[in-house]
Amino acid sequence: MEIWINPACSKCRSALTLLDAEGAEYTVRRYLEDVPTEDEIRAVLDRLGLEPWDITRTQEAAAKELGLKEWAKDADSRDRWIAALSAHPKLIQRPIITAEDGTAVVARSEEAVRDALSR
């Protein structure tokens, strides 16, 4: 299992604490430093069963600068969103845990972390 985190994020730290308490084996990816490629973002979206706009932090300064709230949320715009997430990784919702069964979860709650652990 891998977890994408921003160490400054309290939800990320909470997820790590829970994973440690449960004795989970995982790899940490500091995605602001080890920026995911567009293909990696596509793969995680497939695992999540979500679209790029579903995991975009639209309140971030970069989102406002890009005008993301005005972008279309459709198949034709999907690659544009993915490119923005790769170019501005701070826009990616966190933490994201890729589970052992090939799925993933946005682990912003204890329930979501436990869900990932149960897979």
Q: Of 1, 9, 35, 99, which one is the catalytic site residue?
A: 9
> How are strands ordered across the β-sheet holding 96-98?
27-30, 2-5, 96-98, 104-106
Q: Give phi and psi for 103, each to the nearest 5.
A: -95, -175
- Per-residue pLDDT reduced to its tens digit, 35-73: 999 999 999 999 999 999 999 999 999 999 999 999 999
- How far apart are the C-alpha atoms of 85 and 93, rounded to whole Å? 10
Find out whether 15 and 3 touch, Cβ atoms under 8 Å. Answer: yes
Residue 86's pLDDT is: 98
Once rounded to an integer, what is the mean pLDDT over residues 70-90?
A: 98
Once rounded to an integer, what is the mean pLDDT over residues 105-110?
A: 96
Once rounded to an integer, what is the mean pLDDT over residues 62-85?
A: 97
Is the pLDDT score of 100 beyond 90?
no
11, containing H or E segment: helix 10-21
- How far apart are the C-alpha atoms of 33 and 68, rounded to whole Å? 23
Closest CA to 88 of 11, 36, 13: 36
Residue 22's pLDDT is: 96
Give every CB contact of residue 63 below 8 A, 6+ residues apart in sequence. 56, 57, 69, 88, 91
- Clarify whether 12 is annotated catalytic: no
pTM: 0.94
